[in-house]
Amino acid sequence: MEGQPEAPAGPKYYPVHAEQWKKQFLEIRQNFTMKHPRVLQTLFYLLGYTREQICERGTNCLDFKLAKELINEQLFQKMGSYQPLGSREGDFFDYQKISFLRSNIKELDEEKVQDFSLVMGKLLSWI
């Protein structure tokens, strides 16, 4: 149609105010189950949380009951102070290293995650 601008090519863009995004992320704690748990698992590993803090005992499966207790102000502070550039200092478990983190989310379709949950899509993009 004449006079109407064409939609820009490229990925979908969903502007969300930071406080609104935070509120929606905190609301995830109200859920009983989690779709796309690898997004949260990878986020926690990236920020230095251990397997024992977020997974079922003796497995690499996210325990949502444990993980949702960690969705709090401390998590937001860790996200805010995370520096993706440069080398990371300290000792890391294999599951906290970038190669594992990449492989943990490589099967996820970013668009499907985004369509399911704006918050999970934002987290996946941040990771």
What percentage of residues in the chain have a pLDDT greater than 90? 52
Residue 119 domain-assigned?
yes
Cβ–Cβ under 8 Å, residues 82 and 93: no
Predicted confidence at residue 1, as pLDDT, reads: 47
Residue 107 domain-assigned?
yes
User: What one-letter code names the amino acid at 28?
Assistant: I
**Average pLDDT, integer, range 4-30:** 66
User: How many structural domains comprise the chain?
Assistant: 1
Cβ–Cβ under 8 Å, residues 98 and 17: no
pTM of the model: 0.81
79-82's contacts with Cβ under 8 Å and 24+ in sequence apart are 79/43, 79/47, 79/126, 82/46, 82/47
**Average pLDDT, integer, range 83-109:** 89
Length of the chain: 127
Residue 7 domain-assigned?
no
Higher-scoring residue by pLDDT: 16, 84: 84
Q: For the chain, give me the number of helices (H) and strands (E)?
A: 8, 0
